[in-house]
């Protein structure tokens, strides 16, 4: 069969306490210090203390042992050595130096849709509980050699390309539009993590709640991406990346692995079909990428 989902992401962050409190407020459940679970995906984010922000590991799940063997063989053809350790494939992705782990894991059930209103009680609209993200849907990585990293994930891991946006391939495992995004950057960095919620209402509620006492967290949203049809709201996390609440009903409409295949003459779509105005000119450029650009203009 195939690799079908992201299991978890391990990050090092300079201010662990601050990052932990951000993701608790964001709605993840901290099951042990620095370990965070989603409603459907289980433990999906592990934060550790480190001198500088860094992505350490990205864990993926495949259907069976044959998948691990075929990934190992395909990577070998690319000249990349992956080793089987306790039934899990481990390989350092050469362009980003991120440890990619592929284990055998169950597929998640399809995401539950938004619950239809059952009454005309408008109090139902007034939420009092934090939003609880369903799962880690995608991870966007900045990297220097996008082509090399793309080869690893497409030819090695077996991902498919859905679109190119902002010069980067948006790659998927199955019926989500994208699960791993590669963006050209002057250094390896985590651009954003994206957490699926049940509907647009949860994006608006979650985003508004996150910036209520922290306006500095606001990056961009509410808006809707063009290529993936995802609704989004991006927040700045305390370790230099963005955290995105998203939802797309197109995920539910996608009926198979070919759903998102672009036509040969499909044009590159704009980043957003629509969005509320951002406060900054380049709202999705991480701080780490702004410094060299600023010094160039001096
Ligand atoms: Fe995203």
Distance 182 CA to ligand 1 centre (A): 11
Distance 226 CA to ligand 1 centre (A): 12
Question: How many distinct structural domains can be found in the chain?
Answer: 1
Distance 85 CA to ligand 1 centre (A): 31
Distance 76 CA to ligand 1 centre (A): 31
Tell me if 245 is assigned to some domain: yes
Q: Mean pLDDT over all residues of the chain?
A: 92
Tell me if 48 is assigned to some domain: yes
Distance 140 CA to ligand 1 centre (A): 7
Distance 195 CA to ligand 1 centre (A): 9
Q: Decide the pairing of beta strands 83-85 and 88-93.
A: antiparallel
Backbone angles phi, psi at 112, to 5 degrees: -70, 140
Distance 291 CA to ligand 1 centre (A): 23
Tell me if 118 is assigned to some domain: no
CB-proximal residues (5 Å) to ion ligand 1: 194, 244
Residue 5 has pLDDT above 90, yes or no: yes
Domain assignment of residue 202, given as a range: 3-107+132-297
For residue 158, the SS3 value is coil
**pLDDT attached to residue 116:** 65
For residue 26, the SS3 value is helix
Residue 293 has pLDDT above 50, yes or no: no
Distance 194 CA to ligand 1 centre (A): 5
The pLDDT confidence band at residue 292, using thresholds 50, 70 and 90, is low
Tell me if 264 is assigned to some domain: yes
pLDDT, one tens digit per residue, over 18-32 is 999 999 999 999 999
H helix intervals, the chain? 16-26, 65-77, 146-151, 200-212, 250-253, 287-297
| Contact in structure between 102 and 74 (CB atoms under 8 Å) | no
Distance 228 CA to ligand 1 centre (A): 9
Q: Which residues contact residue 202 at a Cβ distance below 8 angstroms, ignoring those fewer than 6 apart?
A: 131, 245, 247
pLDDT, one tens digit per residue, over 221-255 is 999 999 999 999 999 999 999 999 999 988 888 88
Tell me if 164 is assigned to some domain: yes
Strand order in the sheet with 98-104: 29-32, 35-38, 42-49, 3-13, 54-62, 98-104, 88-93, 83-85
| Contact in structure between 98 and 149 (CB atoms under 8 Å) | no
pLDDT, one tens digit per residue, over 138-196 is 999 999 999 999 999 999 999 999 999 888 999 999 999 999 999 999 999 999 999 99
The CATH number linked to 57 is 3.10.180.10
Residue 277 has pLDDT above 60, yes or no: yes
The pLDDT confidence band at residue 297, using thresholds 50, 70 and 90, is very low
| Contact in structure between 246 and 231 (CB atoms under 8 Å) | yes
The pLDDT confidence band at residue 294, using thresholds 50, 70 and 90, is very low
For residue 58, the SS3 value is strand
Distance 272 CA to ligand 1 centre (A): 11
Q: Which of 90, 20, 6, 8 is nearest to 48 (CA)?
A: 20
Distance 58 CA to ligand 1 centre (A): 16
Tell me if 114 is assigned to some domain: no
Q: Which of 9-18, 208-217, 218-227, 253-262 has the lowest mean pLDDT?
A: 253-262
Residue 295 has pLDDT above 60, yes or no: no
Tell me if 115 is assigned to some domain: no
Distance 69 CA to ligand 1 centre (A): 30
Distance 192 CA to ligand 1 centre (A): 7
pLDDT, one tens digit per residue, over 70-122 is 999 999 999 999 999 999 999 999 999 999 999 999 999 888 877 666 667 77
Distance 131 CA to ligand 1 centre (A): 18
Handedness of CA 29, 205, 251, 285 (dihedral sign): negative
Distance 124 CA to ligand 1 centre (A): 29
Tell me if 127 is assigned to some domain: no
200-212 vs 16-26: helix axis angle to the nearest 10?
A: 140
């Amino acid at each position: 069969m195939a690799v079908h989902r992201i299991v978890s992401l391990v990050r090092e962050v300079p201010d662990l306490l601050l990052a932990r409190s951000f993701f608790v407020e964001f709605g993840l459940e901290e099951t042990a210090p620095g370990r965070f679970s989603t409603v459907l995906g289980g433990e999906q984010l592990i934060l550790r203390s480190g001198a500088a922000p860094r992505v350490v590991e990205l864990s993926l799940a495949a259907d069976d042992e044959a998948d691990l063997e075929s990934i190992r063989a395909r990577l070998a053809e690319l000249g990349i050595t992956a080793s089987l350790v306790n039934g899990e494939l481990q390989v350092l992705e050469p362009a980003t130096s991120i440890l990619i782990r592929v284990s055998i894991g169950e597929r998640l059930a399809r995401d539950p849709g938004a619950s239809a209103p059952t009454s005309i009680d408008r109090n139902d609209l007034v939420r009092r509980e934090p939003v609880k993200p369903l799962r880690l849907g995608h991870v966007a990585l900045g990297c220097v050699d996008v082509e090399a990293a793309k080869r690893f994930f497409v030819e090695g891991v077996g991902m498919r390309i859905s679109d190119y946006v902002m010069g980067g391939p948006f790659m998927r495992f199955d019926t989500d539009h994208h699960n791993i995004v590669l963006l050209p950057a002057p250094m390896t960095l985590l651009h954003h993590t994206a957490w699926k919620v049940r509907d647009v209402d949860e994006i608006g509620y979650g985003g508004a709640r996150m910036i209520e006492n922290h306006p500095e967290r606001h990056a961009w949203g509410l808006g809707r991406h063009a290529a993936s049809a995802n609704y989004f709201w991006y927040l700045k996390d305390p370790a230099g990346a963005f955290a995105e609440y998203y939802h797309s009903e197109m995920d539910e409409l996608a009926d198979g692995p070919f759903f998102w295949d672009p036509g040969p003459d499909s044009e590159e779509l704009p980043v957003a079909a629509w969005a509320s105005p951002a406060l900054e000119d380049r709202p999705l450029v991480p701080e780490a990428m702004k410094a060299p650009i600023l010094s160039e203009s001096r």
